[in-house]
Amino acid sequence: MEAVVQNRKLRLATTSLAGCFGCHMAFLDIDERLLDLVERVDFDRSPLTDIKQCGACDIGLIEGGICNAENIHVLQEFRRQCKVLIAIGACAVNGGLPAQRNHLSLGQCLQEVYLTWPGIVSGQIPNDPELPLPLDKVHPIHEIVRIDYFIPGCPPSGDAIWKFLTDLLDGRTPRLGHPLLHFD
Amino acid sequence: MTQQSILLDGLPVPFEEGQTIMDAAMAAEIFIPHLCHHPEFKPQGSCKLCTVKASGRYVSACTMPARDGMEVENNSPDLNDKRRTMLQMLFVEGNHFCPSCEKSGNCMLQALAYELEMLSPHFNQFYPNRPLDASHPQVLLDFNRCILCELCVRASRDVDGKHVFSLSGRGITKHLIVNAESGRLADTDFSLTDKAAHVCPVGVILEKRKGFAVPIGQRRYDVDPIGMQVERLAHRTTTEEEI
Amino acid sequence: MTDECVGAERLGELLQPIIDGHGGDPGMLVQILREAQEALGYLPAAALTAIARAVGLPRARVEGVAGFYSFLHLQPVGRYRVLFSDNITDHMLGSVELMDRLCNRLWIERGKVSEDGLVSVDTTSCTGLCDQGPALLVNGRAMTRMSAERIDRISEMIRAELPLDDWPREYFRIEDNIRRRDALLNTCWPAGEALRAALARGPEAMLAEMRTSNLRGRGGAGFTTYIKWESARRAPCRGEPPERYIVCNADEGEPGTFKDRVLLSSYTDLLFDGMSVAGFTIGATRGLLYLRGEYAYLLPALRENLARRRRDGLLGTALCGQDGVCFDIEIHVGAGAYVCGEESALLESLEGKRGVPRIRPPFPVTVGYRGQPTVVNNVETLCKAALIAVNGGAWFAGLGTKQSTGTKLLSISGDVEMPGIYDYPFGVSVAQVLNECGAGNAQAVQISGPSGTCLGMHEFSRHVAFEDVPTAGAFMVFGAHRDMFEVARNFAHFFAHESCGFCTPCRVGTSLVANCMDKIADGHGSQYDINEIFKIHRLLHVASHCGLGQSACNPLFDTLNKFRPAYERRLRSLDFEPAFDLDQALAAARQMTGRDDPAAHFGLAARVPGVTT
Ligand SMILES: Cc1cc2nc3c(=O)[nH]c(=O)nc-3n(C[C@H](O)[C@H](O)[C@H](O)COP(=O)(O)O)c2cc1C
Ligand code: SF4
Ligand code: SF4
Ligand code: SF4
Ligand code: FES
Ligand code: FES
């Protein structure tokens, strides 16, 4: 075996669960480096492509936490398909803003929002089978499946994402030092 | 008499009689991670972030008196691993949503997490329910972020002479309380000019209508990592803790 | 017991005598709060304010202390408050089922006060009655040998609101269960025998005997008693008035330990003699006995004994007629906190504070109770000092082994025919003890309680001694049919409940570990969780502030090493599993939306239409 990094193009999938797409926007902030990136990776399922089902991938990037049944299905699919799964952004890492509902009961929340909110007349809690059911609590993704790496930040900067991915692609253990590592 | 010294990660560091390992390190501008230590107050020894190995035993640097010739291990992978785990414990124990926290960038807990490259809280979140206290006209208490370092307790008791803050409960239910039958800060004699109003290392005791005065990205620990600010930390006074 | 809303005036009337009884001393806060609660049923906010004012403490300090102890309540509790002892030995005798039974009979949920305020049922840490369990406390009074029949009768008596004094005496009977006597339990001297012997020797000679005896502390740490006494005797007194103190640690909170209970009940004079001998030897004139709240039922007899000793000139001034030799003893009662057995936390509690272990150094022998030199010794240690005063150090050193002199009381419980107290010379093998207590098919012995060591069968040839298997006295035996995972899980919850919360690793770590064990018990465990337990163990063991946190993971570490299959057969995968049931996490939403379609489910249920949870 030669001591060189193999040159096969890697497959990368991304998705947004209970997130705000802020992290995907930040991903695009790597700007012209995106061109370097597509030299080295192919995109599988991602809002940037139109692929709906994740195939076998090397790297999966997950934005957002887990707040409903569909989030879990997608996350589990990513875990099955991706060799390396990365949590990106505050919401994926610790639940973020959506998790601030966690000290309320879900029943109360639904009641408030759909039935008793001022201005609501004859409201109804949506029960269409097409809609994913909400979980009783919002969770960071590492509470559901094993996660290999984390890129915190709300959102992380394009530079942080770039540094992380290039470390990974070049076979170095990814590290974020000051000032790329931030939680806000 | 010759100068007494400890060997801190192999480096001779002088100390005066009565100084702790932390005192000696700070004076020599060597960083030992810490949260509950503050140079103006009596050592407390509860956060355990300053855990070092002295003569082969794990001890808290902020409470352990320095002894001549003592060999102290500080910046090692083993200790930093343990410290990172304790930071993660503090993060999951409370509710820390940095993006919506006024203290972000000026927060010691967060700064230490950066310093020790804590990328995730790792453990399952406790998501405790800790209601805010917004009763006071000038100051908001957001208990969600309290790390129980007792700096406010010590400041109010030892400097302000007021005993505004105290701890109640025990174990994982331990929590901060204020000195009023109603449990509300507004019903205590707390004031914005108290030392206790300015010691919180995290975002619990917050002056109202003052948040975000300095933009995110330009705050204290955005500019330089905490490990490079030992001199400031060693000489900090509580008034300087204001955002 | 009074109504919830006592008027301010009435409150003052009830509290004043209690506060006066303690001279308004803020150092007596824990005692004042205990008594106030006895008078009021619980500690309402207004009472804390009144007490704070009366003793001159900030209110928040008083609330902080009241909030620390399990037996002090800031919210109303039932007029009958039933607490089942939650030690694993009680579980093994059926306590969990009995508690469910009582809850069902009374139509209440565990941990909640019934709507009429009549009763509440919950658990409490080991009550030290493992040899006659299942045990419980009703309004602080200990009851033993619970059975379905007794529980049914209790539920009737509660519903009939029968006063406790009219309950069958039999239910409150507590046996000594002494099964083997040796040097300690064979003594039956008259009160004052040991004190007179020490007075005759003089302090220097007494100290020399202690040195010769090589007596080591029986409370757990095994520190040489002579060194403690000598250091405290030499340490300068710092306060006003200058004073030294002898503190007897009768907190006996380690689950599975109950030997001090027997010494306190049936060897009272030996103990008080031992305290007096210690006082005389180090130059202390005051002794304090810190009695765990669970043993409050012993209080009347102990107080009576003290009064008799005072009458007989064995306490007070001019002990045994010797001018200038003074010593007296007072009793403080704890309020439900295992950590207060740790000597510096105990001193904090004695001073009326939260039971948080102090920073050491300095050690109590130089800076102890109220800042003065203080010797803290275990009940059994002090009883042994009394033996040494009479029989001499050389006699004592001739018993046991070279490094572990004398005998040791073992509190034996669990799967044995004859649970109770055994007095053995140090060095006895575990196998011999097992044989003599009638442990037919033991697979494991937990020695020295949860913070001690779990020995498997292959280790039964080891010896009880400081140099081999040290112990504070607990000896819990588990038969081959017991599930060692459940044993460890019980201990994990004990530590999480008892952590004082002072330091980060123990405060959070003990809860994380308890959650981890529940996760495995619920069938959501994986290899990941096992690794987590090891990781937290490595941290707590070295970074915790006191012995509680340092040993909190010991039982998990031991059982993981010696009974790993008990864990493994519960694991769901080798990789990682979430801690909660995914399908169950949708239950609330299903209920709110009325949906039950396949997409409203996870797992198997998702594929079988019409299956509800
Ligand atoms: C968490 C914890 C609980 C303890 N509980 C007790 C106890 O209940 N009784 C006791 O005598 N010692 C207990 N100890 C040990 C005491 O700290 C102390 O070592 C002992 O009382 C000294 O007495 P000795 O030298 O006579 O053994 C405990 C220690 C720890 C760390
Ligand atoms: S207190 Fe610090 S760590 Fe906590 S949310 Fe605020 S900035 Fe983040
Ligand atoms: S409020 Fe702040 S200063 Fe006070 S204990 Fe909590 S974290 Fe420490
Ligand atoms: S180890 Fe546990 S019991 Fe001991 S001081 Fe720390 S939190 Fe308290
Ligand atoms: S979705 Fe990116 S930070 Fe919350
Ligand atoms: S800084 Fe030393 S324990 Fe907190």
Q: What pLDDT, on the 0 to 100 scale, is given for residue A50?
A: 83
Within a domain: C574: no
Q: What pLDDT, on the 0 to 100 scale, is given for residue C589?
A: 93
Closest CA to C560 of C596, C543, C578, C535: C535
Average pLDDT for residues A40-62, to the nearest whole number?
90
Average pLDDT, chain A: 90
Within a domain: A114: no
Within a domain: A138: yes
Q: What pLDDT, on the 0 to 100 scale, is given for residue B239?
A: 57
Q: Which of A87, A137, A177 sits opposite B120 (nearest CB)?
A: A87
Q: Between chains, do A97 and B100 touch, taking CB under 8 Å as contact?
A: yes
Structure tokens at A18: 């209970």
Q: What pLDDT, on the 0 to 100 scale, is given for residue C609?
A: 44
Within a domain: C593: no
Average pLDDT for residues B57-74, to the nearest whole number?
98
CA distances from C586 to A66, A131, A133, C568 (A): 12, 13, 7, 28
Q: What pLDDT, on the 0 to 100 scale, is given for residue A3?
A: 55
Assess whether the C-beta atom of C546 lies below 6 angstroms from ligand 4: yes
Average pLDDT for residues C124-140, to the nearest whole number?
97
Print the domain residue range for C532: 485-568
Continuous segment of H or E residues that includes residue A164? helix A158-169
Please tell me whether the peptide bond between C241 and the residue prior to it is cis, using omega within 30 degrees of 0. yes
- Predicted confidence band at C550 (pLDDT cuts at 50, 70, 90)? very high
Reduced to 3 states, what is the DSSP secondary structure of residue C256? coil
Is A135 an 8 Å CB contact of chain C? yes
Within a domain: A175: no
C-alpha–C-alpha distance, residues C95 and C133, integer Å? 8
Q: What pLDDT, on the 0 to 100 scale, is given for residue A4?
A: 53
Q: Are residues C474 and C502 in the same domain?
A: no
The residues of C whose Cβ lies within 8 A of any Cβ of A are 528, 575-576, 578-579, 582, 585-595, 597, 599-600, 602
Q: Between chains, do C504 and B86 touch, taking CB under 8 Å as contact?
A: yes
CB count within 10 Å of CB A174 equals 19
Q: Are residues C411 and C495 in the same domain?
A: no
Q: What pLDDT, on the 0 to 100 scale, is given for residue B243?
A: 41
Kindly state the DSSP code that residue C464 receives in the 8-state scheme.
B
Q: Are residues C286 and C362 in the same domain?
A: yes
Residues of A in contact with B77 (CB under 8 A): none
Q: Are residues C187 and C283 in the same domain?
A: yes
Is A143 an 8 Å CB contact of chain C? yes
Q: Are residues C516 and C472 in the same domain?
A: no
- Separation of B135 CA from ligand 6 center, angstroms? 31
Residues of C in contact with A105 (CB under 8 A): 588
Within a domain: C373: yes
Q: Between chains, do B179 and C58 touch, taking CB under 8 Å as contact?
A: yes
Q: What pLDDT, on the 0 to 100 scale, is given for residue C612?
A: 40
Ligand 1 binding pocket (C-beta < 6 A) is C 217-221, 223, 249, 251-254, 339, 341-343, 376-378, 381, 546-548
How many domains does chain C divide into? 5
pLDDT tens column, C380-437: 999 999 999 999 999 999 999 999 999 999 999 999 999 999 999 999 999 999 999 9
Q: Are residues C226 and C308 in the same domain?
A: yes
Q: Are residues C291 and C335 in the same domain?
A: yes
Print the domain residue range for A142: 2-100+134-169
Q: Between chains, do C589 and A134 touch, taking CB under 8 Å as contact?
A: yes
Within a domain: A73: yes
Instruction: Look up the pTM and report it.
Output: 0.96
CATH number at residue A34: 3.40.50.700
Reduced to 3 states, what is the DSSP secondary structure of residue C429? strand
Q: What percent of chain C has pLDDT over 90?
A: 93
Within a domain: A94: yes
Which contacts of C43-47 are long-range, i.e. CB under 8 A and separated by 24 or more positions? C43/C72, C43/C73, C43/C74, C44/C4, C44/C5, C44/C6, C44/C74, C45/B181, C45/C74, C46/B181, C46/C6, C46/C8, C46/C11, C47/C6, C47/C11, C47/C15
Picking from C143, C175, C207, the residue at the C-terminal end of a domain is C175
- Assign domain B101-220 to a CATH class: alpha beta
- Predicted confidence band at A120 (pLDDT cuts at 50, 70, 90)? low
> How many Cα atoms within 13 Å fall on the side-chain side of residue B219?
23
- Predicted confidence band at A116 (pLDDT cuts at 50, 70, 90)? confident
Within a domain: A31: yes
Kindly state the DSSP code that residue C223 receives in the 8-state scheme.
-
Picking from C482, C504, C527, the residue at the C-terminal end of a domain is C482
Structure tokens at A164: 């992380």
Which of B88, B89, B93, B97 to probe by mutation at the A interface, max A CB count within 10 Å?
A: B97
If you measure CA to CA, which chain B residue comes closest to A95? Answer: B97
Q: What pLDDT, on the 0 to 100 scale, is given for residue C240?
A: 79
pLDDT beyond 50 at B210: yes
Structure tokens at C316: 């007070």
- Predicted confidence band at B242 (pLDDT cuts at 50, 70, 90)? very low
Q: Are residues C351 and C370 in the same domain?
A: yes
Average pLDDT, chain C: 95
Q: What pLDDT, on the 0 to 100 scale, is given for residue B238?
A: 60
Least confident of A89-103, A115-129, B83-97: A115-129
- Separation of C70 CA from ligand 4 center, angstroms? 16
Average pLDDT for residues C307-331, to the nearest whole number?
94
CATH number at residue C90: 3.40.30.10
Within a domain: C470: yes
Q: What's the gap in Å between the CA of C74 and the closest CA on chain B?
A: 10
Following DSSP, what letter does each residue of A88-155 receive, concatenated? ESHHHHH-TGGGGGTTS-HHHHHIIIIIISTT-SS------TTSPPEEEEEE-GGGTS---EEE-SSS
pLDDT beyond 60 at C607: no
pLDDT beyond 90 at C40: yes
Q: How many CB pairs under 8 A join B and C?
A: 115
Q: Are residues C221 and C357 in the same domain?
A: yes
- Separation of A142 CA from ligand 3 center, angstroms? 28
Percentages of chain B per state (helix, strand, coil), in multiples of 5 = 30, 15, 55
How many domains does chain A divide into? 1
Q: What's the gap in Å between the CA of C71 and the closest CA on chain B?
A: 12
pLDDT tens column, C518-537: 999 999 999 999 999 999 99
- Predicted confidence band at B135 (pLDDT cuts at 50, 70, 90)? very high
Residues of B in contact with C353 (CB under 8 A): none
- Predicted confidence band at A31 (pLDDT cuts at 50, 70, 90)? confident
Q: What pLDDT, on the 0 to 100 scale, is given for residue B236?
A: 85
